[in-house]
Amino acid sequence: MQSRRSRLDRFLSNHLCINRRDVRLLLAQGRVKLDHRQADDIQQLVDQYTHVQVDGRILQAETASYIMLHKPPGVVSATKDSVHRTLIDLLPAGHPENLHIAGRLDFNSTGLALLTNDGRWSRGLSSPDANIEKRYRVRVDKPVSQQLVTAFSEGLYFAYEKLTTRPAQLFIIDNHHVDVILKEGRYHQVKRMFGRFQIEVLSLHRLSVGKLKLDENLLEGDSRSLTDQEVSAALTASFPWSVR
């Protein structure tokens, strides 16, 4: 989803069919409000979620939506699918329109799924430059050695794509459960990393994105809106965890 951003003078000129000089006059007279505050700079940026008023008339009042969903297995991380249930199908009636998935989970993976209609926010979560950490609880078919901890931290080379994964953190919980922290999300990455050592991933559950943790009160298939604090937290790189 692409964000629509423009300067305030261009936005008002297009919506009111007036020239830029008249836009300056509107601002000088205190007749324009952005997000319920008086605007005073024609270079202020307006996006699709900026609340815009002129003389009390609302020109734009679209609302950004951010939803946390506890993904169950056997559900597609998509908005439409002709065969399987999708994350959108799990939402209650009356959910916001134009939602998309902010970071997909595999068909049988579970845990924290995020949906939004804010393209800038979702791109912020997926951008490699943002260093947003995603934490997964992984169940494997055999014990994990310290050799893997080192290998994950150094990155693994995949010849097919001719790339080396970014350093990942691996925490051993017990013989068959580990936590993995990634700062990227390549195709089936966790399963393929363990597969290099002939270890099968039996289940994968996403616990967190940035500082945003899956709500423990959400049952599989349930969802709720994020708070403003959680929206910001998702774009923070890490969370102070204790493995247990």
pLDDT of 65: 92
Residue 242 has pLDDT above 80, yes or no: no
- Per the model's pLDDT, the better-predicted residue between 62 and 239 turns out to be 62
Q: How confident is the model at residue 244 (pLDDT cuts 50, 70, 90)?
A: very low
**Which one of 47, 106, 215, 222 is the catalytic residue?**
106
pLDDT in tens, 193-204: 999 999 999 999
User: Residue 34's closest CA among 71, 9, 65?
Assistant: 9
pLDDT in tens, 154-213: 999 988 888 899 999 999 999 999 999 999 888 889 999 999 999 999 999 999 999 999
Residue 239 has pLDDT above 60, yes or no: no
Residue 240 has pLDDT above 60, yes or no: no
Is 47 tagged catalytic?
no
pLDDT of 131: 87
In this chain, the answer to whether the domains covering 6-60 and 66-233 adopt an identical fold is no
pLDDT of 187: 84
Q: Domain-by-domain residue ranges, the chain?
A: 6-60, 66-233
pLDDT of 60: 81
Residue 206 DSSP class: E
pLDDT in tens, 109-144: 999 999 999 888 888 888 878 889 999 999 999 999
Is residue 32 a contact partner of residue 38, using CB atoms and an 8 Å limit? yes
Residue 237 has pLDDT above 90, yes or no: no
pLDDT in tens, 80-107: 999 999 999 999 988 887 899 998 899 9
pLDDT of 64: 87
pLDDT in tens, 5-35: 889 999 999 989 999 899 999 999 999 999 8
User: Residue 213's closest CA among 196, 193, 233?
Assistant: 233
pLDDT in tens, 73-82: 999 999 899 9
Q: How confident is the model at residue 243 (pLDDT cuts 50, 70, 90)?
A: very low
User: Mean pLDDT over all residues of the chain?
Assistant: 90
For every residue of 69-129, which 3-state class applies, written as one string? Answer: EEECCCCECCCCCCCCCEHHHHCCCCCCCCCEECCCCCCCCEEEEEEECCHHHHHHHHCHH
CATH architecture of 66-233: 2-Layer Sandwich (3.30)
Q: Does domain 6-60 have CATH number 3.10.290.10?
A: yes
Using CA atoms, how far residue 7 sits from 2, 15, 144, 148, in Å, is 16, 12, 54, 51
